[in-house]
């Protein structure tokens, strides 16, 4: 990962996409460690986190995470999810944050030298190309180590640098108690969290991460 000490760095996290990627690799992210890691790489200007919220729930499992991020150095961007029924009669909840992320990247680009995009969504290829024409460097973080790969090939090719999330795992992983179900998965469960990806569609599917 190539950073210059005086670069102005902006982090843009596609929350649903990053959560699904980390689950595919069977680990949880410690967002404080993530922020600390990039603060050591350059002049971190801002870290954005994008996620959709189910507003009519009496309690949302994602709310503690959002509140923690909001109080601990992240700029939260949220919007309500949309609910619909698919052709097979299954209830689906969608919360696409692509437009919000793209607008913020373009607006912030005049204040940045290096953008770190946590997403594998191929729809962001043109966004990456646009800010590269403005002279910015773009690092994309996702993974090719999962089955299937979580990053679109066109996005990976467009990025100045691709970093597999596996490479960051030792630096940003959240420690889990030994009796945590996911800890047991690592010791022999072949599923490895893949069940959470069954309905993942073009980064629009809504997921509810465990609180940090």
Inform me whether the pLDDT recorded for 206 exceeds 50.
no
Range 72-79 average pLDDT = 96
Please give the C-alpha separations between residue 74 and each of 32, 45, 198, in angstroms, as whole numbers. 10, 11, 29
pTM: 0.81
- The CATH homologous superfamily for domain 8-197 is 5'-nuclease (3.40.50.1010)
∠ CA 62-68-70 to the nearest 5 degrees?
100
Domain boundaries, the chain: 8-197
Provide Rg for the chain, Cα atoms: 17
What gap in Å lies between CA 124 and CA 95, rounded to an integer? 16
Tell me: the pLDDT tens digits for 31-67?
Answer: 999 999 999 999 999 999 999 988 776 667 788 999 9
């Amino acid at each position: 990962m190539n950073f210059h000490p005086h670069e102005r760095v902006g982090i843009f996290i596609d929350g649903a996409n990053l959560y699904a990627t980390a689950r595919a690799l069977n680990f949880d992210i410690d967002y404080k460690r993530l922020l600390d890691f990039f603060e050591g790489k350059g002049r971190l200007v801002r870290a954005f986190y994008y996620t959709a919220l189910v507003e009519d729930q009496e309690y949302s499992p994602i709310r503690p995470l959002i509140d923690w991020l909001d109080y601990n150095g992240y700029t939260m961007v949220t919007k309500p999810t949309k609910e619909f029924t698919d052709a097979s009669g299954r209830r689906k909840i969608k919360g696409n944050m692509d437009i919000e992320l793209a607008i913020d990247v373009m607006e912030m680009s005049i204040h940045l030298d290096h953008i770190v995009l946590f997403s594998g969504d191929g729809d962001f290829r043109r966004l990456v190309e646009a800010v590269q024409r403005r002279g910015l460097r773009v690092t994309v973080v996702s993974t090719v180590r999962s089955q299937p790969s979580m990053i679109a090939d066109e996005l990976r090719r467009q990025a100045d640098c691709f970093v597999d999330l596996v490479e960051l795992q030792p630096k940003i992983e959240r420690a889990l108690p030994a009796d945590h179900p996911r800890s047991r998965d690592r010791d022999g469960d072949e599923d490895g969290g893949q069940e959470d990806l069954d309905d993942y569609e073009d980064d629009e599917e809504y997921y509810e991460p465990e609180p940090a």
